[in-house]
Structure 1
Amino acid sequence: MIPTTTPGAAEAKVMTISAFGAEKAQSILAGSGKENAGVRVFIKSGGCSGFQYGMAIDDRELEGDTIVYDRGVKLVVDQASLALLRGSEVDFVENLMGGGFSVNNPNATSSCGCGHSFRTDGANAPEGQGASCGGGGL
């Protein structure tokens, strides 16, 4: 069974999306051509601080996924990423260099300058990782 949270549910704060982030996500999802698609938010090893955020449009719901509906957007988080993303907010940020999605993560104890890579509990980057600062897919 895939855990699902809905507004007002006890787990509704697993992850949220800002109003501006929701507006941008809804526009992207509407143009994706994928029925019942959501924004998959995940963590992978790498980046200058040890972990990187990733995002993708996904119409799959896999075993162990947690589904959160916030501001009309379906957010999908895999079981392995959930612990590192719990309490995070997805946002969309525009600046002079362009715009893109970002994650405001209360679990990150440090991050690199680009904001796509982070570390928790002062841990060092995994062996062989951390050479570059990279971003996600959405």
Structure 2
Amino acid sequence: MVFSITDTAAGQVQEMMKEEETGARLRFGIQGGGCSGLSYSLGFDHDVNDELDMVEDINGIPVVINKQDAPIIEGTTIDFKQNMMGGGFSIDNPNAIVSCGCGSSFRTDRRVGAPEKC
């Protein structure tokens, strides 16, 4: 398993999947951008490229991960936190050495991604 999804986050994802078409999978990965160079991508996807993607079942959720992203997100935990302002997913990545003050971007020691101005 490349990363983990807490029970709370899994419950939230399962509720959201009820609104998606049959066959949807959670896609988690990274993309270039943000003031630290990388940002997370989390959404639903119906397409899987067998050469580029890996598919796992994590805490009852079908998940698609780009194989190139796997080393950067290895050991990451996705949680869902609720507060008085609402709720949202939180991502704890042990590979992130720097995170943006807004919490939406990060950098690892792998030297990937190009920082952008905030």
TM-score normalised by the shorter chain: which range applies?
Answer: 0.7 to 0.9
Write the deviation string for residues 6-58 of structure 1: whole angstroms up to 9, x where unpaired: xxxxxxx31110111000000001111x2121110111111121100011111
> In structure 2, what is the equivalent of residue 4 of structure 1?
none
Aligned-residue sequence identity (percent) comes to 35
Contact kept? 1:15, 1:68, Cα under 8 Å: no
SS of alignment partner, residue 25 of structure 1: helix
SS of alignment partner, residue 22 of structure 2: coil
1:61 to 48, 69, 83: 48
Distance 1:74 1:39 in 2: 6
Counterparts in 2 of 1:1-138, with a 5 A limit?
Answer: 13-32=1-20, 34-63=21-50, 64-121=52-109, 123=111, 126=114, 129-132=115-118
Contact kept? 1:49, 1:124, Cα under 8 Å: no
SS of alignment partner, residue 24 of structure 1: helix
In structure 1, the gaps of 5 or more residues are: 1-12, 133-138
In structure 2, the gaps of 5 or more residues are: none
The 4+ residue runs of structure 1 with deviation greater than 3 A are 122-125
TM-score norm. by structure 1 comes to 0.75
Write the deviation string for residues 79-121 of structure 1: whole angstroms up to 9, x where unpaired: 2211211111111122344322222111101111232210112
Amino acid aligned to 1:68: E
SS of alignment partner, residue 23 of structure 1: helix
Structure 1 window deviating more from structure 2 (46-55 vs 99-108): it is 99-108
Structure with the larger strand share? 2
- The change in CA–CA distance for 1:82 and 1:122 in structure 2 (over 3 A counts) is closer
Superposition RMSD in Å? 1.9
Distance 1:103 1:80 in 2: 18
TM-score norm. by structure 2 comes to 0.87
Distance 2:85 2:34 in 1: 20
